[in-house]
Structure 1
Amino acid sequence: MRWSIGFGLLASALALATPVLAQDARMTATAAPAEPSAIPLNTGGVKGQAASEAWFRQYGVAMTRNVTSATLTPFLPDPAKATGAAVIVAPGGGFLMLSMENEGWRVAKALADRGIAAFVLKYRLKPTPADMGGFEQSVTAMFAGAAQPQRRMSPDEAIAGLSDQIADARAAVALVRARATEWKVDPTRVGMIGFSAGAMTTMATALAAPDTHLAFIAPIYGSMEAVKVPADAPPLFAVLAANDPLFANKGFGLIESWQKAGKPVEFHLYQAGGHGFGLGKKGTTSTGWFEDFMHWLDANGMLVRQ
């Protein structure tokens, strides 16, 4: 799938987006963290995947790869703060890895602190070599490939190669709604937010699985390619940094598509932040996107306390 060739650029973009020491760019294998709250989604495995799920640290944050069994981890708000809104959180990583800490757990905790039930989706990934050396070589190869000029896939085009991820997202939404009473969630206010490849997963779910009836979607530093908008498309909140090395300076077809379809859309283009900034890169206006998102959810009636 051509979408994944941007992984090399993604890695360099993360380095630009995160002020860490040079040695933090190295991939260091770690033991899998305890995930006592992770709920298996039972959506199947990954064709051709022989290696086991593996965890590592890079740029100071926890990441995983070779995910073959999707899970959903709840981060529930204090009942006194609960608004009834829920968000499926899809981390990014070029479909070869997942930035679980930077774009998953931290985001989910921030949402829960604001009274929103958040659920981190660990979705299935493309196979990578079992050994870290082989994985690093595959990343190096993608650096070389990403340097070659070529057109990126739009979400419409990428859907055919994202059947696993769409199935995982669909199962996540169904699980949240099935346990809505237990988790104090309004089943009509379940949305999805995704970062980079997670933004692509979010968009693909909204486009290819409209029967999920997402209440809203929020692609954060994702593709801006134009798409065919479903008749019942949800409100869209999009974020991008003007210096994003992957998606800036490529037009705003996605936003224009939502506008032309007459669907609610809000777009924030921040002056700086690069790619992979999670909750925001310190010292840039990208740190404001989360508060803007909260205001947008509130203005759209998503944060009405029960």
Structure 2
Amino acid sequence: MKQIRLALALTLGAVIMPAAAVAQGIPVAPMEAPPQTGAIPLGTGAIPDMPAESWFTLAGRSTVRNVSTATLLPVLPDKAKATGAAVVIAPGGGFIMESMEAEAMKPARWFADHGIAAFVLKYRLDPTPAGMDAFRSAALARFAAAAAMGAKGGADIAAPAAALADAQAAMRLVRARARQWNVDPGRVAYMGFSAGAIMGTDLVKAAAPGTMPDLFAAIYPNMAATTVTENAPPLFVAVASDDELFGKQGYALPESWRRAGRPVELHVYEHGGHGFGFDGKPGTTSAGWNAALLGWLRAHGWLTR
């Protein structure tokens, strides 16, 4: 299948891109980089000629762009409730930004509250202009291209090589330090939102040693068909039927799992659009979708020791 990367413009919480958000009157503003105490460099290298890492808020939610070096931030449960299960979380943002609150830290805290060790992946990104105005223009152009792609039904989409390498390094690191974090190396899940979900699909497709998730939750992912290996993990998909980017693709991604004889669970919400975030979009049927995720985790034993 034809692979398309530069046309991507994926999620940022309740809206798709900052440029689109600005056009809708949703506030976007620079912010100081928050403390990232405990973040572990993944050692996968740096993006050459990358402008300085820049943080901003989108409707009050922290977001980052121009990430040159990847890190992994542990968010660990209280030892009394720890189940031994773990999850690597990769936020979305079209590979030019990452929604660090709505699609990373918020679900990480939720997992930890349920006894699951969470690890937030801040992966390397494509460079964007240093100035906010130029960035907005670039983001809007990418959003328009992605919306046009989605209207045509889309195509197979590959994660950038750097981002995929970061996801693979994150999976290996969690397993390598499993004893330190009281984690079972055979119970390491991966959850990705939009661009992060595309990385997860590529993790499964690549099937590199030590990197295959034991569970894979894909939240509003690209829905195109993919190669599914015989040891592919159980798949959970949550998507809205009115998704502006992937809503016209059908359901070939979960169908690929089904045809390969691998476990799959699909939740399609009538309304929610693309980027409904961890809690879903208020006032739509996507609200509270994570209750379904909780049930799926429970069914696979992720909530018990």
Q: Normalized against structure 1, the TM-score is what?
A: 0.90
Match of 2:297 in 1: 297
Post-superposition shift, 1:257? 0.7
Post-superposition shift, 1:152? 3.0
* Counterpart mapping for 1:111-260 below 5 A: 111-146=111-146, 148=148, 152-155=154-157, 158=158, 162-211=160-209, 212-260=211-259
Unaligned stretches of 5+ residues in structure 1: none
Q: Is the 8 A contact 1:166 1:209 kept in 2?
A: no
Match of 1:57 in 2: 57
Q: Is the 8 A contact 1:214 1:234 kept in 2?
A: yes
Post-superposition shift, 1:15? 6.4
Post-superposition shift, 1:303? 2.7
Match of 1:32 in 2: 33
Post-superposition shift, 1:27? 2.7
Q: Is the 8 A contact 1:28 1:58 kept in 2?
A: yes
Residue 100 of structure 1 pairs with residue 100 of structure 2: yes
Q: CA RMSD in A?
A: 2.3
Post-superposition shift, 1:73? 0.6
Deviations 1:83-134 (A, max 9, x none): 1110000000000000001000001001111111001000000011111121
Query: SS state of the match for residue 232, structure 1?
Result: coil
Query: SS state of the match for residue 80, structure 1?
Result: coil
Deviations 1:35-86 (A, max 9, x none): 1121111100114x33111101112211000001100011101111111110
Deviations 1:185-213 (A, max 9, x none): 11000010000111111111111134213
For 1:40, give the aligned amino acid: P
C-alpha distance in structure 1 between counterparts of 2:282 and 2:13, whole Å: 18
C-alpha distance in structure 2 between counterparts of 1:39 and 1:121, whole Å: 10
Structure 1 stretch displaced more, 166-175 or 67-76: 166-175
Deviations 1:149-177 (A, max 9, x none): 5563314xx15xx2111111111111111
Q: Is the 8 A contact 1:107 1:278 kept in 2?
A: no
For 2:154, give the aligned amino acid: R
For 1:246, give the aligned amino acid: L
For 2:207, give the aligned amino acid: A
Match of 1:3 in 2: 5
Query: SS state of the match for residue 286, structure 1?
Result: coil
For 1:42, give the aligned amino acid: G
C-alpha distance in structure 1 between counterparts of 2:247 and 2:166, whole Å: 28
C-alpha distance in structure 2 between counterparts of 1:108 and 1:251, whole Å: 29
More helix by percentage: 1
Give the direction of change, closer, same or farther, for the CA distance of 1:232–1:273 in structure 2 (3 Å limit).
same
Structure 1 stretch displaced more, 23-32 or 99-108: 23-32
How many residues are matched? Answer: 296
Q: Is the 8 A contact 1:15 1:25 kept in 2?
A: no
Q: Percent identity?
A: 49
C-alpha distance in structure 1 between counterparts of 2:56 and 2:168, whole Å: 27
